[in-house]
Amino acid sequence: MTGGTVWPGMLLGLGILLLTMQPASGQIEHVELDETFPASAIDWELAAGADAVLRKELEEYEVRSPRRADLRVRRVVTVLNPEGRRHGEFYIFHDGLRQVRSVEGLVRDAQGEVVRRMSSSELEDRSLISHFSLYDESRVKIARLHHDTYPYTVEIAYEVRFNNILVGWPRWYLRRNIPIEYARLEVESPPDLPVRYQVRGMDLQPIVSRSDRAHRFRWQALDQPALDPEPMGPHWTEQAVAVETAPAAFSIEGTTGDLSTWEGFGRWYYSLGEGRRQLPERAREDVQRLVEGIDDARERARLVYEYVQERTRYVSIQLGLGGWQPFDAIYVHERGYGDCKALSNYLQALLEEVGVASYPVIIRRGMNEPELQVDFPSNPFNHVLLKLPMEDGDPVWLEATSQTLPFGHIGADNEDRYALLADYENSRIVRTPTTTADQNRLERHATIHLTDTGHADVSLDLRFAGNLQHRIRRTLYGGTGRDRDEWSRSYLGFSGLRNLEVAFDHLSDRGETLRLPMSFTIDRRATATGTRLFLQPMLMANNVRIPPPAEDRRHPVRLDYARTYVDSLRYVLPEGYAVEAMPDPVLLDKPFGTYRAELVVEEDGELLYLRELTIPEATIPAEDFHDYRAFLNTIAALERDQVVLVRE
Amino acid sequence: MTEYEPDPDAEAIVLADYGNVSFRSNGRLVLERHTRVKLLSRSGFEHATVDVPYVSEDRLQRVQRVRGRTYVLAENGEVEEIDMEQDAVFDEDVDGRRSRVRFTLPALQEGAVIEYRYRIESRNFTFLPDWRFQRSIPTLHSEYRALIPAALHYTKWSTGMQEFDVQESNQRHTALGSAMNHRWVMKDIPALREEPYMTTPRNYQASIRFQLRGFEDARGAYTSIRSSWDELASELMRHRNFGRYLSPSRAVRRHVDELLEGVEAPGERLEVLYDYASAGLEWDGQRSMFADERPRDVLERRTGNSADITLTFVAMLQAAGFVAHPVLISTRSHGATLPMYPMVTQFNDVLVAVELNEGWMLLSPVSDLLPMGLLPPAALNQQGWLVRENEPEWIPIEPPGQSRVVSVSMLSIDENGRLSGRVDQHDYEYAALTLRVARRSMDDDENFVREAVLSSLDGVTLADWEIEENDEDMGAIAATATIEWDHYAQTAGDFIYLNPHVLGRFESNPFTREERTFPVDYTFPRSNSHTIQIQIPEGYEFYEVPDNTRIVGADDSMLYQRLLDTRGNILQMRLQFVRNETRFDALAYDAIRQFYDEVVAAGAEQIVLRRIEEPRADDDEDENSEGGR
DSSP codes of every residue in B479-528? EEEEEEETT-SEEETTEEEE---SSS---S-S---S---S-EE-SS-EEE
What is the rounded CA–CA span in Å between residue B462 and residue B482?
6
Closest CA to A76 of A58, A61, A93: A58
pLDDT digits (tens, 9 = 90+) for A516-529: 999 999 998 998 88
**Which of B422-451 are b and which e, b meaning 16 or more Cβ less than 10 Å from the residue's Cβ?**
ebebbbbbbbbbbbbeebeeeeeeeebbbe
Q: Are A543 and A635 in contact (CB under 8 A)?
A: yes
For residue B511, what is the nearest residue in chain A, using CA coordinates?
Answer: A495
User: Is the preceding omega at residue A151 within 30 degrees of 0, hence cis?
Assistant: yes
- Tell me the mean pLDDT in the region A377-402: 96
Q: Say what angle helices A340-353 and A297-311 make with each other, to 10 degrees.
A: 140
B30 Cβ neighbours under 8 A, 6+ residues apart: B21, B22, B23, B24, B119, B120, B121, B122
- Tell me the mean pLDDT in the region B24-43: 94
pLDDT digits (tens, 9 = 90+) for B230-266: 999 999 999 999 999 999 999 999 999 999 999 999 9
Parallel, antiparallel or unpaired: strands A68-79 and A52-65: antiparallel
Residue B616 confidence (pLDDT) above 60: no
* Residue A385 dihedral angles phi and psi, to the nearest 5°: -120, 180
Question: Cβ of A124 and B95 within 8 Å?
Answer: yes
CA A500 to chain centre: 35
Which pLDDT band holds residue A192 (cuts at 50, 70, 90)?
Answer: very high
Question: Cβ of B597 and A146 within 8 Å?
Answer: no
What is the rounded CA–CA span in Å between residue A211 and residue A607?
83
Q: What is the pLDDT of residue B617?
A: 52
What is the rounded CA–CA span in Å between residue B261 and residue B312?
19
Residue A223 identity: D
Render A533-571 in DSSP notation, one character per residue.
EEE-S-SS--PPPPPPP-SS--S-EE-SS-EEEEEEEEE
**Alpha carbon of A494: minimum distance to chain B alpha carbons (Å):** 7
Tell me the pLDDT of chain A averaged across its residues.
91
CA A156 to chain centre: 30
Closest CA to B12 of B113, B116, B107: B113
Q: What is the pLDDT of residue B436?
A: 92
Q: Does A86 touch chain B (CB under 8 A)?
A: no
The secondary structure element, H or E, covering residue A638 is helix A625-638
What is the rounded CA–CA span in Å between residue A281 and residue B104?
25
Question: Cβ of A82 and B279 within 8 Å?
Answer: yes
Q: What is the pLDDT of residue A14?
A: 31
Question: CB count, 10 Å around CB of A296?
Answer: 11
Tell me the pLDDT of chain B averaged across its residues.
92
pLDDT digits (tens, 9 = 90+) for B335-372: 999 999 999 999 999 999 999 998 999 999 999 999 99
Closest in B104, B440, B492 to A644, CB measured: B492
User: Which letter does DSSP use for residue B368 in this model?
Assistant: T
Parallel, antiparallel or unpaired: strands B526-535 and B403-413: parallel
What ipTM does the predicted assembly reach?
A: 0.88
Q: Which of A480, A486, A629, A635 to mutate to test the interface with B (most CBs of B within 10 A)?
A: A480
Which pLDDT band holds residue A100 (cuts at 50, 70, 90)?
Answer: very high
Question: Cβ of B106 and A523 within 8 Å?
Answer: no
Residue B36 confidence (pLDDT) above 80: yes
- Tell me the mean pLDDT in the region A358-367: 96
Residue B163 confidence (pLDDT) above 60: yes
**Alpha carbon of A81: minimum distance to chain B alpha carbons (Å):** 11
Residue A543 confidence (pLDDT) above 90: no
Parallel, antiparallel or unpaired: strands B495-498 and B476-485: unpaired
What is the rounded CA–CA span in Å between residue A531 and residue B407?
32
Q: Does A548 touch chain B (CB under 8 A)?
A: yes
Least confident piece of the model among A567-576, B43-52, B260-269, B454-463: B454-463
Q: What is the pLDDT of residue B254?
A: 96
Cα(first)–Cα(last) distance of chain A, in Å?
68
**Which of A192-205 are b and which e, b meaning 16 or more Cβ less than 10 Å from the residue's Cβ?**
ebebbbebbbbebe
**Alpha carbon of B350: minimum distance to chain A alpha carbons (Å):** 22
* Residue A513 dihedral angles phi and psi, to the nearest 5°: -120, 135
Q: Does A121 touch chain B (CB under 8 A)?
A: no
pLDDT digits (tens, 9 = 90+) for B500-536: 999 999 988 999 888 899 999 999 999 999 999 999 9
Residue A88 confidence (pLDDT) above 80: yes
Closest CA to A488 of A475, A478, B510: A475
Residue B474 confidence (pLDDT) above 90: no
* Residue pairs between chains A and B whose CB atoms are closer than 8 Å: 153
Q: What is the pLDDT of residue B114?
A: 98
Question: Can you tell me whether residue B3 is helix, strand or coil?
Answer: coil
pLDDT digits (tens, 9 = 90+) for B107-162: 999 999 999 999 999 999 999 999 999 999 999 999 999 999 999 999 999 999 89
Q: What is the pLDDT of residue A510?
A: 86
What is the rounded CA–CA span in Å between residue B325 and residue B386?
7
Residue A383 identity: H
Q: What is the pLDDT of residue A616?
A: 96
Distances, alpha carbon A619 to alpha carbons A558, A562, A563, B258, in Å: 5, 8, 12, 59
Question: Cβ of B96 and A403 within 8 Å?
Answer: no
Q: What is the pLDDT of residue A235?
A: 85
- Tell me the mean pLDDT in the region B555-581: 94
Angle, CA A354 vertex, CA A353 and CA A360 arms, to 5°: 65
Residue A321 confidence (pLDDT) above 90: no
Closest in B49, B104, B509 to A495, CB measured: B509
Share of chain A above pLDDT 90, in %: 77
Who wins on pLDDT, A451 or B473? A451
Question: Cβ of B90 and A134 within 8 Å?
Answer: yes
Q: What is the pLDDT of residue A5?
A: 36
Residue A16 confidence (pLDDT) above 90: no
Question: CB count, 10 Å around CB of B216?
Answer: 14
Q: Does A117 touch chain B (CB under 8 A)?
A: no
Which pLDDT band holds residue B614 (cuts at 50, 70, 90)?
Answer: low
Residue B518 identity: F
Q: What is the pLDDT of residue B292?
A: 92
Cα(first)–Cα(last) distance of chain B, in Å?
71
pLDDT digits (tens, 9 = 90+) for B506-516: 988 999 888 89
Q: Which of A312, A316, A529 to mutate to test the interface with B (most CBs of B within 10 A)?
A: A529
Q: What is the pLDDT of residue B478?
A: 94
**Strand-pair partners of B384:** B395
Which pLDDT band holds residue A8 (cuts at 50, 70, 90)?
Answer: very low
Residue A559 confidence (pLDDT) above 80: yes
Q: What is the pLDDT of residue A28?
A: 57
Q: What is the pLDDT of residue A327?
A: 93
Share of chain B above pLDDT 90, in %: 82
Residue A134 confidence (pLDDT) above 70: yes
